């Protein structure tokens, strides 16, 4: 009986975690849609409207897992590209954006 209860509890926790993760990624995607989709492709497919703007799915995972990336999102992420505005996120929003971007990355292809 204890084992069944443990399995049910673990299943419920996993389900809750998966739902929260999906919601977090959805929120991150919505933020990117509002702020970045004018120039960048923010999904798993499609070209960026601005040819100079890389699709977010092509960001290296190394960059996304770098703790500096999360900090830059919070401090004010900008680019040397003159048309790109600076974006500033609170910690929760920065984590949602980063986690969504991690979820859409293309597999690494060696050249």
Residue 43 pLDDT > 70, yes or no? yes
Distance, CA of 91 to CA of 42 (rounded, Å): 20
CATH architecture of the domain formed by 24-103 = Orthogonal Bundle (1.10)
State the average pLDDT over residues 18-31. Answer: 76
Look up the pTM and report it. 0.70
- Per-residue pLDDT of 53-102, as tens digits, reads 889 998 876 677 677 888 888 888 777 777 788 888 899 999 999 899 98
pLDDT for 72 equals: 84
pLDDT at 17: 43
* Distance (Å) of CA 67 to CA 28, 33, 64, 71: 17, 23, 8, 7
Domain spans of the chain? 24-103
């Amino acid at each position: 009986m204890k084992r069944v209860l443990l399995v049910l509890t673990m299943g419920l926790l996993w389900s809750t975690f998966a739902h929260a993760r999906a919601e977090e990624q959805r929120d991150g995607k919505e933020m990117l849609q509002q702020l970045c989709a004018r120039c960048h492709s923010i999904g798993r497919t499609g070209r960026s409207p601005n040819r100079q703007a890389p699709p977010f799915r092509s960001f290296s995972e190394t960059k996304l897992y770098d703790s500096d990336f999360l900090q830059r999102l919070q401090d004010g992420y900008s680019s040397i590209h003159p048309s790109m505005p600076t974006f500033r996120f609170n910690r929760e929003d920065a984590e949602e954006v980063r986690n969504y971007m991690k979820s859409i990355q293309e597999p690494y292809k060696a050249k």
